[in-house]
Structure 1
Amino acid sequence: MLLEFGIEISKGDNNLIKTIPFILEDAENNLPYNFRDLLASQKLALDDLIVQIKSLDAQIAKQHSTGGKERIGHIAKNHSDKNSEVSYLRGLFQLYQ
């Protein structure tokens, strides 16, 4: 959608994360206010999801390093919704790579 306004972002989640703040700050890119507001709120949501993913990755790494393989299986079974959200988000990020 940004291409409609002549704004191109290179593939990769890091490029997306780094570029959005510059797009929001650029007053001359002619983005409609509503779209700019939506993009800002989506950036905040993305930041929150990245924090959640990092937290889950740290929990998994900790369980794995302590030999808690049974616990990891328990987490996977009881938190399948969170795991599917993480898988979904990772899939979305792969679209930008």
Structure 2
Amino acid sequence: WARTLNTLGHEARIMAVKYVIPYRTKGKNDLNDAVAICEAVQRPSTRFVPVKSPEQQAILSVHRMREHWVRERTALMNRMRALLSEFGLIIPVGRSSLMKHVPLMLEDAENELPHLARTGIADAYHHLGELNQRIADTEQVFESFAKVSANVQRVMKVRGIGPQTATAILASIGNGSQFDKSRDFSAWLGLVPKQYSTGGKPRLGRITKHGDKYLRTLLVHGARTVIA
């Protein structure tokens, strides 16, 4: 909608709800919301969210689908392990171990796995293979996009950042012009310590964990690969 309004000659601004709520002093309705928005938009401390391009939204949609499939795959593997363990069939930890041992267990006619359970596990294993392929396809999309995007290649020069993280960063923040310095990006993403300072005595706690959890997770994993 913001892009549509901009094409009509308006200057559309997007801001987080948390900047509006403090200025709504009465009950929530359309009129009071509009008054609160008018108050919030005039404050110099209010920050606005840049309007995403169709390309950015498309990349983010691929990331969201991959995230969904990864979670579904993890849940499916845990379910398969639990069902097999009920029949005394234990699989070592790890996705590769599960992919290796399940076919062997299904082919073993001497174990105590009933026919109905064997059929259900076989269907689940087939679905797991489909999820693996879908996730691999999304990763191929990221790699292909990285080859033709100079901005993605520039971000990938940072140690620990690959095509997946680089595309997620650019799709989330665009050119980053909304940040005055790199620390502002860290604060926006929740990677800086939470402050509770008073009387000139700084007190720093754990990281705030504000912002996009998915993007923050990717950066944390990238940092681990660097320091490992």
TM-score by length of 1: 0.67
Corresponding residue for residue 109 of structure 2: 27
Is structure 2 residue 141 aligned with structure 1 residue 55? no
Amino acid at match of 1:40: A
Is structure 2 residue 92 aligned with structure 1 residue 7? no
Q: C-alpha offsets along residues 43-93 of structure 1, whole Å, 9 cap, x if unaligned?
A: 1000111111111100111101221769x539xxxxxxxxx9xxxxxxxxx
Q: How far off its partner does 1:4 sit? A: 2.3
**Which structure 2 residue ranges, 5 or more long, are not aligned?**
1-82, 153-166, 173-213, 215-228
- Cα–Cα, structure 1 residues 18 and 66, in superposed 2: closer, same or farther, change >3 Å? same
Among all aligned residue pairs of Structure 1 and Structure 2, give the percentage whose two residues are the same amino acid: 30
1 or 2, which has the higher strand percentage?
A: 2
- Cα–Cα, structure 1 residues 58 and 68, in superposed 2: closer, same or farther, change >3 Å? farther
**Counterpart-to-counterpart distance in 2, 1:57 and 1:6:** 36
Correspondent of 1:66 among 120, 128, 148 = 148
Q: How far off its partner does 1:21 sit? A: 0.4
Amino acid at match of 1:22: L
Q: C-alpha offsets along residues 6-25 of structure 1, whole Å, 9 cap, x if unaligned?
A: 21100000000111100100
Mapped contact 1:63–1:69 kept (Cα < 8 A): no
Displacement over 3 Å in runs of 4+? none
- Cα–Cα, structure 1 residues 34 and 6, in superposed 2: closer, same or farther, change >3 Å? same
Correspondent of 2:98 among 6, 9, 16 = 16
Mapped contact 1:23–1:29 kept (Cα < 8 A): yes
TM-score by length of 2: 0.30
Q: Aligned with 2:123: secondary structure?
A: helix
**Counterpart-to-counterpart distance in 2, 1:69 and 1:28:** 57
Amino acid at match of 1:63: F
Q: How far off its partner does 1:2 sit? A: 1.6
1 or 2, which has the higher helix percentage?
A: 1
| Structure with the greater alpha carbon radius of gyration | 2
